[in-house]
Amino acid sequence: MSLPSRRLFLLAPLALAACGFRPVYGPGGNGTALQNNVLVDAPNDRNSYLLTRTLEERLGRSATPSYALALTVLTLEDGLATDTFGNTQRFDILGTVDYALRDVASGRIVTSGQVENFTGYSTTGTTVATLASQQDAQVRLMTILADQIVTRLYAADLSA
């Protein structure tokens, strides 16, 4: 490794500090502000339950929350592959979640947005295997969407 490369590597933390970078779990970071401080709205179906469960695993649960997180979950199944008899062999589950984080004290929406993703499952096998594949795909999709929401909440400006 040449000497100029080392100098640039050592100056990288200063450049990040100059652009307003803060560690998520550092002092004043969003990870610290949100951890055990968010109340996720009660789920109303299986997918929103799976999403809420994963969000609570990531953010923690609070007895006295500072923030409330509202979610609207929409999923759609789309058949992809069919065999020569016209039976669908593979499905995609498309998921969209609209979210809004609001300050409990003031009622003001701190940040909001939408995340989208998809997973798939195969129907080749027994009815029980197909149902298990479908339910596993739903769990994977809600986990992916929850991780996207948490990432966006950590990147949001909570002070605005």
Q: Is the pTM of the predicted complex or chain greater than 0.85?
A: no
C-alpha–C-alpha distance, residues 111 and 148, integer Å: 14
Model pLDDT for residues 40-84, shown as the tens digit of each residue: 999 999 999 999 999 999 999 888 999 999 999 999 999 888 787
Strands 67-82 and 38-40: parallel
